[in-house]
A and B are shown apart, each in its own frame.
Chain A
Amino acid sequence: MFRKILIANRGEIAVRVLRACRELGIGSVALYSDADRRGLHVRIADEAVWIGEAPASQSYLNGERIIQAALDCGAEAIHPGYGFLAENAEFARAVAQAGLVFIGPPPEAIHAMGDKGRAREQMLRSGVPVVPGYQGADEDNLLVEKAVEIGFPLLVKAAAGGGGKGMRVVRRAEDVSDALAAARREARHAFGDPRLILERYIANAHHVEFQVLADGHGNVIHLFERECSVQRRHQKIIEETPSPLLDEQLRAEMGAAAVAAARAVGYQNAGTVEFIVDSHTRQFYFLEMNTRLQVEHPITELVAGVDLVHWQLRIASGERLTLAQAALNQRGHAIECRLYAEDAANQFLPAIGTLLRFIEPKGPGVRVDAGYSSGDAITIHYDPLVAKIIVWAEDRPKAIQRARSALRETVLLGVTHNGAFLQDVLASAAFRQGSMHTTWIEEYFAGWQEPQCELPPEVLAAAALTHFQQTANGVAVAPPAADGRDVYSPWRIANGFRPGR
């Protein structure tokens, strides 16, 4: 096992990996940008190294500097987390060339799966079903022609893409050119690669993915599925396992396909094979493989009883997988809710601000993976994921109850967030029936408003009381400042967080 590793990430995933290091007795080195000088991941690491200015391109995406930092501090390996450089084959190769271990798959596997067009071809050769579509010579005229051939609705995707960037749904032939241009621009910005592929758009589809683990000795297993159909802007907000859609037979078929996909590219370490399942025909199609740890990995950990980050570290250090496929099973039900700083009532636009107060829910079966604590700021530079609230219970209805209760207990003040929206999603009949699909949020929750049009009297009373106690009872009332402004106005006193942070 490694003695010391560097974690090339920030936020909740850096915290998650740091905790695993502590448990396994591995020394940990965190990185931070100017924006994260006092970040949670910095505060809990054994060592922390400054890596650059706040924009990711000058810090967490600066591979050269990260590798140098790892060499300077004597780390033996680099854990990339997710996002940033996690799926960058060049980076993985450079890490190896520097004599360090990349905690993830071999660069060849990242390369093979990193390009959606190439991955589709590879899967077709390996007998893994893919969505009807087109990948190949990338000229606008040809793409328009192929689009018409495939038919509408159609999905335009960045070949190098992920996370919904560079992706467009096209419903009419006359919109193809505009969609191609917009997707290309986004793809170039996000990935430095403007190439596109086309896929038939499957309506009412479920997004179901399989977790795989593969070691360097030829062992590949899957750890069952995660249902990730609850999405906004093509990004997941609630995930669960088991999927309410699958039965034993479909699960076995998809699990076998996931293992075949991983084997086809010589995969090692933790990875996720994503499928689209047509809920009418129950046909499944390979979508892509995420060659890294996923945001939603904790629900698999809870239901399969396996610590995925521990296994990432063990596999990367050369250990053999001792988990046998036949011995694995799914126990109970787990749900993850992603608490984002965003405005659910306004197109889910990201929000920024200081977390004046953040109190995580607690109790049996509740796990919180957070990247921030009270006093931290959410900035425009990074993903606005504040925390993942993950619950486990004996069955799906109980898990939904527990998730709702945990969200009710969560306190997050100072930044607009999606807590109330998540509660409404969990409470909806369609979610309780398990009949949600990938565009369900867009369709069903269009025009959603925060249910607080009328303030309850107890909240107004409390607001008055907080003023009253400061002005009349508690804090001394100072005379107005010389400029006539009341510097001691309760509006200006920020309670409940550490000033100066």
Chain B
Amino acid sequence: MVSDRAGEWKGNAMRYRFESQGQVYQVALERRGQVYQVEIHGRLHELEVLDAQPGVLSLRFEDRPLVLYWATDGERKWISLDGCTYRLGRPAPRRARAAGDGEHAQQILAPMPAQIRAVYVQQGDTVEKGRTLLLLEAMKMEMQIKAPQDGTISRLAVKNGQTVEKEQLLVEMGGAGDAG
């Protein structure tokens, strides 16, 4: 239960783990009267909260005053500081990856949120590398989805006219050898 939470207590400090661009960061936060002591990867920093409004933190970090804006979308925490936008996620729980099926299947995911404008293949088709499988369109852009390898369309996960999210599964391809 405790590990599913955002952080866990360790002594007087609250420990958190964040993920950003594939890196995992550990942060320990401890309140000491007016100030907080923060430990990040073994280094200690001192900070003071000057003001806290919904979505806005005004801090003194070391000796520097800062204003940070933040929000969460349920999955990630978005933070803006000095014109840079940062996205922090929750590190994926370490668990054994399911082995076996799907190892050779290549999943083709939507590179952007879009509408499927054309489907050029059917399930079971054998295609050569570079063959156009689908046509996507979003806003002012059209994009062809091509076969990344020779192989068989083992699963066609979308229909013409359908709307897809970014990274939604479009097509699964089996390698040239493992049809059926």
Contact = CB atoms under 8 A, between A and B. Distances in A.
B77 interface: yes
Nearest to B90: A491
Contacts of A412: 80, 85
- The B contact surface, by secondary structure, is strand
Interface in A443-501: 451-469, 471-472, 480, 484-486, 489-497
B52 A464 contact: no
Contacts of B1: 480, 484, 486
B77 A165 contact: no
B157 interface: no
A88 interface: no
A10 interface: no
Contacts of B176: none
Contact of A491 (B23, B74, B114): B74
Nearest to B143: A349
Interface in B1-25: 1, 4-7, 14, 16, 18, 20-21, 23, 25
Given A460-B40, A496-B70, A472 B142 contact: no
B1 to A, nearest CB: 6
B113 interface: yes
Contacts of A349: 111-112, 138, 141
B78 A414 contact: yes
Interface residues of B, number: 66
Given A417-B85, A491-B6, A463 B16 contact: yes
- The A contact surface, by secondary structure, is mixed
A408 B83 contact: yes
Contacts of B81: 456, 458-459, 462
Interface string B140-153: 11100000000000
A468 B14 contact: yes
Given A346-B111, A464-B14, A465-B47, A457 B77 contact: no
Given A163-B140, A408-B83, A496-B55, A380 B69 contact: no
B84 interface: yes
Contacts of B83: 407-410, 419-420, 423
B139 A413 contact: no
A422 to B, nearest CB: 10
Interface string A170-200: 0000000000000001100100000000000
B86 A459 contact: yes
A320 interface: no
Contacts of A411: 69, 80
B38 interface: yes
A384 B139 contact: yes
Q: Which residue of A407, A420, A458, A469 has the most chain B CB atoms within 10 A of its CB atom? A: A458
B156 interface: no
Q: Which residue of A346, A354, A462, A484 has the most chain B CB atoms within 10 A of its CB atom? A: A462
Contacts, number: 210
A420 B139 CA distance: 22
B29 interface: yes
Contacts of A469: 52
A186 B43 CA distance: 55
B88 interface: yes
Contacts of B75: 491
A350 B138 contact: yes
B79 A463 contact: yes
A12 B61 CA distance: 37
A356 B71 contact: yes
Given A460-B27, A463-B88, A494 B137 contact: no
A380 B55 contact: no
Interface in B34-68: 36, 38, 40, 43, 45, 47, 49, 52, 54-57, 59, 61, 64, 66, 68
B73 A461 contact: no
A185 B38 CA distance: 57
A413 B78 contact: yes
Given A411-B69, A491-B77, A496-B54, A463 B90 contact: no
27 contacts: A351-B112, A356-B71, A357-B55, A407-B83, A413-B71, A414-B71, A414-B73, A452-B84, A455-B18, A455-B88, A459-B81, A459-B86, A459-B88, A460-B18, A461-B40, A461-B45, A462-B68, A462-B70, A465-B36, A468-B7, A468-B14, A468-B31, A471-B5, A490-B72, A491-B77, A492-B74, A495-B54
Interface of B: 1, 4-7, 14, 16, 18, 20-21, 23, 25, 27-29, 31, 36, 38, 40, 43, 45, 47, 49, 52, 54-57, 59, 61, 64, 66, 68-75, 77-86, 88, 90, 111-115, 117, 137-142, 163, 166
What 3 A-B pairs have minimum CB-CB distances, sorted nearest first? Answer: A496-B55, A408-B83, A356-B71
